[in-house]
Amino acid sequence: MGEFELIRQYFMPLVRLHGSHGVVVGPGDDCAVQRVPSGFDLVFSIDTLVEGVHFPINYRPDYLAWRALAVAASDLAAMGADPSCFTLALTLPEVNETWLRDFARGLGEAAESFGLALAGGDTTRGPLTLSLQVHGLVESGGAICRSGARPGDLVVVSGPLGDAGAALDYLVADGSSESQRASIDEQCVLERYHHPQPRLKLGSALRHFATAAIDISDGLLADLNHILEASAVGANIERARVPVSPALARLKGDTAIEYALHSGDDYELCATIAQARWASAPPSLKQQLTVIGVIESAPGLRLGGTDVMSGSGIVGFDHFRGKA
Amino acid sequence: MGEFELIRQYFMPLVRLHGSHGVVVGPGDDCAVQRVPSGFDLVFSIDTLVEGVHFPINYRPDYLAWRALAVAASDLAAMGADPSCFTLALTLPEVNETWLRDFARGLGEAAESFGLALAGGDTTRGPLTLSLQVHGLVESGGAICRSGARPGDLVVVSGPLGDAGAALDYLVADGSSESQRASIDEQCVLERYHHPQPRLKLGSALRHFATAAIDISDGLLADLNHILEASAVGANIERARVPVSPALARLKGDTAIEYALHSGDDYELCATIAQARWASAPPSLKQQLTVIGVIESAPGLRLGGTDVMSGSGIVGFDHFRGKA
């Protein structure tokens, strides 16, 4: 069996979700074809993950696949888009059948879980790199952008923050994606790194409430600052309100909050919501969110009233400084 | 200026085509948003180019940008889709301002020439790799697939073939993308490698005539064979009819035809057309195409009646054997 044949064999089962996702021509032709229903906009984002930069060297292929699709799908959640399909450009140093089988299994589990059908892709030889483009749909004009935050809006976040950042510490120190030697708390935060959950249903629900949203990939402060800049507003955040998991609190003590403020990789959402809308939001929505601060007209990002801008901007993740 | 700021500065001018291409949210948010007109399908394809595999090491950045977008746009041409926009995932070992400026200039020229607006992207650190996804539109159900060829259809190709393959010989031997020492004929074939012209207008015109189409990226025989397999038919090609440029004929003599049959990288189109449709086609369309053979019901690909299948398939390009 040729190498391309092998790849086709492992990825073709992921195509089964097609019909229900508007994909009318799937992998195997020059292009894929998607039918976008009348009255809807196509929402899309491309993300690249490079071995040794965005994930550890020799990272487990099933975890890698899940993480890669989750990272991409999280951008759909931030726009309030409902997931439809994705393309995968996979660059491999060699074709290793075991690796490929595990990768395809992880990708299939993620695709099923997130409701994304594999529509097409490209496989090439080179240093291990993945580029994924995800496609979603929103009612025309309904996408949540970064630019809609207004003074007085509440700043909310989903889930506890910082777990995945603490997991990276462990992975870098341990040099392995296995966790046999990890404590229960370490296993908790590792799971959040290995299997991030893009907040797709929450994002979809936020479409009717949020004035702006972003997914937290680079750290809460850095990502919230993107909303502030795009909306030409400022914000004040109460440090004590930022949600931290019990596991992270036990592992990191007083520095847990620093992980929650500065580390990304959890792929939770940060959104802004007008106070009147928040008051009328259903409990099912409120239960998934924590109010951590308020949008203000004065530019800049403040923690308990103290400016956290430095000359070079918010401390956060810069891909060109490298990581993992 | 930060590295991301630098990248933004060079790429933002490429966003100017937006409005006219249905891009309602461009780069700078979590996702881009495209409005697909009612009655049209979205046609899309992702392609990756890796340094040292798909293009020579230290290849000129403006040529690289043109070539990368042309390779991707050529897939739209093969489906008969009209171009709308693209995303670029760019992985760079370092941020070199001169390189980036030249790359952005080449990309801008290509984007303008092909009618593709930059809708979004991702920039990461790592070995030089580009993944581009192009988006096009066709009337719903109108995309030309590989599976429609029927016995009796004529096999046609655009442009002369094999020039870019001969150029690669030169580039590999010379080790540089400059061509000061190249003869006039060598310059002709080099230009075809450096600046392939995706046959977008031709593809769009073929939508009303072709039963199947593919772009020639891996070599005429290998790519035609994809049509034959998808359509469950065979074909007989007349070697003497395959168009070869005067420059290639002079450079390669009797072996010029081998380049035309086996080497890709020209990004011309191969299509099948029912004979009655061909008879009624306008001269403007016929002038861009050469009839090289006919589709037959017996499976397999024949050159002048002689089978050209081997046990391992058609000789052509396999990414996992490497190239360039």
pLDDT in tens, B198-241: 999 999 999 999 999 999 999 999 999 999 999 999 999 999 99
For B146-314, give the CATH class: alpha beta
Cβ–Cβ of B43/A53 closer than 8 Å? no
Q: Where exactly does CATH 3.90.650.10 map onto chain B? A: 146-314
Both tokens assigned to A7 = 């790849």
Predicted local confidence at residue A4, as pLDDT: 67
Q: Which CATH architecture has domain A146-306?
A: Alpha-Beta Complex (3.90)
Cβ–Cβ of B79/A31 closer than 8 Å? yes
Given a cut of 90, whether residue B316 has pLDDT beyond it is no
Size of interface A-B (CB pairs under 8 A): 212
Given a cut of 50, whether residue B319 has pLDDT beyond it is no
Predicted local confidence at residue B204, as pLDDT: 97
Asked which of B6-20, B250-264, B302-316 is least confident by mean pLDDT, the reply is B302-316
Share above pLDDT 90 across residues of chain B, in percent, rounded to a whole number = 80
Element (H, E) at B45: strand B40-50
Q: Where exactly does CATH 3.90.650.10 map onto chain A? A: 146-306
- Give the mean pLDDT of B4-10: 76
For B73, residues 6+ apart whose C-beta sits below 8 A from its C-beta are: B83, B86, B114, B116, B134, B198, B200
- Give the mean pLDDT of B44-53: 95
Fold exhibited by the domain B3-139 = 60s Ribosomal Protein L30; Chain: A; (3.30.1330)
For A275, residues 6+ apart whose C-beta sits below 8 A from its C-beta are: A152, A153, A154
- Contact present, A257 and A264 (Cβ < 8 Å): no
Mean pLDDT across chain B = 90
Cβ–Cβ of B47/A126 closer than 8 Å? no
**Closest chain B C-alpha to A219 CA, distance in angstroms:** 14
pLDDT in tens, B146-193: 999 999 999 999 989 999 999 988 887 776 666 678 899 999 999 999
- Give the mean pLDDT of B47-71: 94
Please name the member of B4, B44, B213 whose beta carbon is closest to the beta carbon of A32. Answer: B44
- Give the mean pLDDT of B38-58: 94
Low-confidence ranges of chain A (pLDDT < 70): 1-4, 16-19, 175-179, 309-324
Given a cut of 90, whether residue B279 has pLDDT beyond it is yes
Predicted local confidence at residue A217, as pLDDT: 92
pLDDT in tens, A200-253: 999 999 999 999 999 999 999 999 999 999 999 999 999 999 999 999 999 999
- B12 or B197, which is more confident? B197
What Cα–Cα distance (Å) separates residue A281 from each residue in A124, A130, B90? 48, 38, 41
What single letter denotes the amino acid at residue A262? H
Q: Where exactly does CATH 3.30.1330.10 map onto chain B? A: 3-139
Instruction: Count other C-beta atoms under 10 Å from residue B56's C-beta.
Output: 21
